[in-house]
Amino acid sequence: MKIHTFGLFLFMSQINDFLATLIPFAEWAMLFLVIGGGLFLVLYSRAKPYRYFRHAIGITAGKYDDPDDPGEVSHYQALSSAVAATVGLGNISGVAIAIYMGGPGVIFWIWVTALVGMCIKFYSCSLAIMYRDEDSGGNLQGGPMYYITKGIGPKAKPLAVFFCIAGLVGFLGVFTVNQFTQTFMSVVDPNTHIATLGEFNWKLIIGIVLSVITSFVIFGGLKKIARVATAIVPFMVLLYFVAVFAVMFTNHTEILPSLKLIITEAFDFKTAVQGGFWGMVILGVRRAVFSNEAGLGSAPMYHGQSRTKEPVQEGLVAMLGPFIDTIVVCTFTAVVIILSGAYLEAESNGIIMTLIAFEKSLFGVGDVLLMLIVAAFALSTLFTYSYYGVKCLSFLTNARIGKYFNYYYVATITFAAVASVDLVINLIDLAYALMCIPNMIAVLYLAPRVNAEMKRYFQKHADEKT
């Protein structure tokens, strides 16, 4: 068994080295398209979507719902499903990884990417409604592959195919599983409290259990996923906020110094660990895209299913995602890690840093509470993420074959439980960077059509600015 385990670890190490050599080539394209393209969209829209923030909340609350509109789910269900996929371990361990690799200053660049990402989400999810199409099963679908082929035209189909192929890797729940497994092994420590089976075997068991639990939900289709996500998201966000506020209350004198440290170190060249200033910016963009998926093209797949005839309505609802996910949740995580001093103690890349922060600040039981929160985050992400991969495979083949992605998805859950965190991060970062390229090209190309629709809609609702 030890020989087979060593061989598996050696194989995974070789894959990790290969992925690490490819990432620098893709991440510069992602930086240019997400930050450069996003800033262009902010200027091109004259920042109008931001002025309708209150109106977006009203849409999400159902104020403008029409049950006769085409689509499968409500605005709130679409946002809940998209947020369930994004508000996850990226907000807990992803932030810790960013601080571990680049220092507290990275958080500032996560904020910048999130603010720009709100505008990207507005454009991309508006396009998801504008260019909906039926799949081979006759079901209404939306997403990058559809606004690429319908919006730009058949000549752009290779871009859509490229996006979907990258999505077959990017839309796996491997990071979530990996970080949940780390948390479980650190907090529960099963070899000490239950039985000695060896770390590898325990991780394998955790992976199998998560695979079984996930199977019960994802094979039920979009409506079942949306129902579960709508039930889990409010609970997990509320529980996390309660824990974070408790930490902040016990360390209230350190909140402002922590925020000040983020700002000062964002422009301090000496604190950037990876490649100086631009390395820190790229790290911030990578972690922000991982956290809120702006520019990635995932959210338009859920929002494209929303029950509405107004593309701009769904764009405004989608815009709330990066605000909730990154501006709010990621900031709370970062402040807790910094004010507790955990970022100066942790020697591990990932969830361990956040566990240290909660354990130190919540009277020694914070790690157990975080374990419960992580479980909710992990399950909600695993339940919702599979839907993206099904849509990618359905586009590449047909709706009947697309459903088989779920079997592949469930199998990779077990693999992720035993893989190293570095391998998982590199795998997902590369896939995300590759997915951003075709999606952002399409969003920028089709932006004038969104502007025309935006002009019509905002004239109709000119009195509802924030």
Farthest CA pair distance, the chain: 70
pLDDT higher than 80, residue 466: no
Is residue 2's pLDDT more than 90? no
pLDDT value at position 242? 84
* Contact indicator for 59, 466 with CB cutoff of 8 Å: no
The neighbour count for residue 353, using CB atoms within 10 Å, is 25
3-state secondary structure of 307: coil
Alpha helices in 251-273 (DSSP H): 255-266
pLDDT at 346 over 70: no
Q: Which amino acid is at 458?
A: F
* Domains of the chain (ranges, CATH numbers): 20-62+70-459 (1.20.1740.10)
Percentage of the residues of the chain whose pLDDT score is greater than 70? 77
**Three-class DSSP category at 133:** strand
Q: For the chain, how big is the Rg over CA atoms in Å?
A: 21
Tell me: pLDDT of 232 over 70.
Answer: no
Q: Give the chain's length.
A: 466
What is the per-residue pLDDT across 188-214, written as a single tens digit (0 to 9) for each?
766 665 656 667 678 888 888 888 888
| Cβ density class 38-64: b for 16+ within 10 Å, e for less | beebbebbeebbbebeebbebbbeeee
Q: Give pLDDT, residue 188.
A: 73
Q: Kindly tell me the sign of the dihedral angle through the C-alpha atoms of 183, 184, 190, 191.
A: negative
Pick from 365, 334, 176, 316: nearest CA to 248: 334
Residue appearing with tokens 């004259």: 46
> Residue 179 corresponds to which amino acid?
Q
Query: Does residue 1 surpass a pLDDT of 50?
Result: no
pLDDT at 175 over 90: no
* Torsion on CA atoms 41, 42, 43, 47, rounded to nearest 10: 130
Among 132-141, 158-167, 417-426, top mean pLDDT goes to 158-167
Residue 388 has pLDDT above 80, yes or no: yes
Tokens of 65: 């719902």
C-alpha to C-alpha distance for 136 and 138, rounded to whole angstroms: 6
CB 170 within 8 A of CB 85: no
Tokens of 234: 């409010």
Residue range 258-283: average pLDDT? 69
Extract the runs of DSSP E, i.e. beta strands, from 200-243: none
Least confident piece of the model among 36-45, 55-64, 227-236 = 227-236
The pLDDT value given to residue 453: 93
Residue 10's pLDDT is what?
58
Instruction: Give the per-residue pLDDT at 3.
Output: 45
- Phi, psi for 133 (deg, rounded to 5): -150, 165
- Cβ atoms < 10 Å from Cβ of 191: 14
Place 392 in a pLDDT band, splitting at 50, 70 and 90.
Answer: very high
pLDDT tens track for 301-328: 888 888 888 899 889 988 888 888 788 8
Residue keyed to tokens 């499903």: 81
127 vs 3: which has the higher pLDDT: 127
Rounded to the nearest integer, the mean pLDDT of the chain is: 79
Sign of the CA dihedral 266, 267, 271, 276?
positive
Assign residue 297 a region (left: φ > 0; alpha: ψ between -120 and 50; beta: otherwise): left
Mean pLDDT of 237-260: 85
- Cα angle 134, 138, 141 (rounded to 5 degrees) comes to 35
Whole-number pLDDT of residue 402? 87
Sign, Cα dihedral of 111, 339, 102, 297: negative
Q: How large is the average pLDDT for residues 63-91?
A: 70
> Which one has a higher pLDDT value, 299 or 465?
299
Tokens of 186: 């650190």
Higher pLDDT, 449 or 292: 449
pLDDT of residue 446: 96
- For 162, counting Cβ atoms within 10 Å of its Cβ (0-12 exposed, 13-18 middle, 19+ buried), the class is middle
Of 40-44, 102-106, 268-272, the range with the lowest mean pLDDT is 268-272
* Whole-angstrom distance, CA of residue 220 vs CA of residue 209: 18
- Percent of the chain surpassing pLDDT 90: 17
Query: By mean pLDDT, which of 127-136, 227-236, 299-308, 330-339 is the weakest?
Result: 227-236
| Average pLDDT for 370-382 | 77
